Amino acid sequence: MIHDESQPGLTQSGPNQPGSAPSVPAQPTRRRPWGALLSLIAGVIILYLVFRKIDLREFADALSQTRWEWIGAALLCGLLSHWFRGLRWALLAEPLGHRPSAIKAFYAVMSGYLANLALPRLGEITRCLLLARKTPLGLSALFGTVVLERLLDLAVLMVLAFGVLLGYQDMLLEPVLKFVTTNLGSGVSLGFLVAFLLGMATVVVLWRTLGRLVPVPAQIRQTLADIGKGVTGLRHVPSPWLVGVYTALIWLGYYLMTYFCFFAFPGAESLGAPDAMLLLVAGAFGFVMPVQGGMGAYHAAIVWTLGMIPGLAMSPTTALAFATLSHLAQTVLVVLVGGLSYFLMSLYRDHQVEEPQPVNPHANPSGSDLS
């Protein structure tokens, strides 16, 4: 079980020395979850905007025709994808000096997804905390491996997005190019681009200058060094090709999860394999938005994308029912498996750091090898 030996608000000092004031319990600070509240409000507003013109009777009728066996197949693909993510994370952590077991990494990953439902991006910190508590791996270095994971996934997403952009030129590429060229002609996009580049250059110059002029505490330097060790750990992974295999299997699971939902929903059977890739990219960008579990943002991205596919006879209400069903299925999976994973992870014993034994100067070194 998880045992927190440090109690908040109580000092850890020994007995009071003569003449010293007795330790007084500090008042615990109450944190107000403004970030979570704002994200929740944003998600609710987006959901309202998406649902406000929807025929609820048609919406319920579309949901009632769901083929649940295909939803089960989609969720199985999603679960396998999360398992491969755990395997990849364990592999990326190996250069840090210890490779955690696949099951511990999986439990931590699913617990992190569960935490994301409370506050966006909280899952990255949560899973690092859990794994650092159950293994000899450091928290900062583990966070560096998560950053590396996100960079790998971002690279894959950008490649897929580029392929989708080329495959759907009439639907996506031409409007994007028209928007860019129009704004470049007016100087708006060019001004934003110049301002962005100047801002990035200013940040780099200030970072390098202040790094030389202002002394950075040793603890902060060590933390940044540990994070950097995790980020650059890909160079020291024993089997880098296996990282690529796991990454491909992760995204294959995501793709099949989207594709199988087509067969589960009436009116979506006409969608093909390329359309699944299109919705995968659109949904991924929806989940990136800073709202709990992509709530609202995912729905809007899927509905907008389905409405743009030429020749698809699907009303906005049916498209929203499809988005709602696929998002709800993923959320239920995260809640059930994530909650169970957190419980099972808590059953593991916390990793204890062995303290060096004091050397007795009066000990007889008769057992030592004097030859």
Distance between CA atoms of 371 and 366, rounded to whole angstroms? 12
b/e per residue 1-14 (b: at least 16 CB within 10 A): eeeeeeeeeeeeee
Is 174 part of a structural domain of the chain? yes
Tally of domains in the chain: 1
Rounded to two decimals, the pTM is 0.71
Is 270 part of a structural domain of the chain? yes
Per the structure, the complete domain to which residue 101 belongs is given by 57-349
Is 49 part of a structural domain of the chain? no
Is 24 part of a structural domain of the chain? no
Residue 327 makes CB contacts below 8 A (sequence gap 6+) with 293, 294, 295, 298, 299, 302
Is 361 part of a structural domain of the chain? no
Is 10 part of a structural domain of the chain? no
Is 4 part of a structural domain of the chain? no
Q: For 292-348, how does the pLDDT look when each residue is reduced to its tens digit (9 = 90+)?
A: 677 778 888 888 888 777 777 677 777 888 888 888 888 889 999 999 999 999 999
Q: For 25-65, how does the pLDDT look when each residue is reduced to its tens digit (9 = 90+)?
A: 444 444 455 555 665 666 566 555 556 666 667 667 766 77
Q: What is the pLDDT of residue 303?
A: 85
Q: In angstroms, what is the C-alpha Rg of the chain?
A: 26
Q: For 260-289, how does the pLDDT look when each residue is reduced to its tens digit (9 = 90+)?
A: 988 888 777 778 888 899 999 999 988 887
Is 12 part of a structural domain of the chain? no
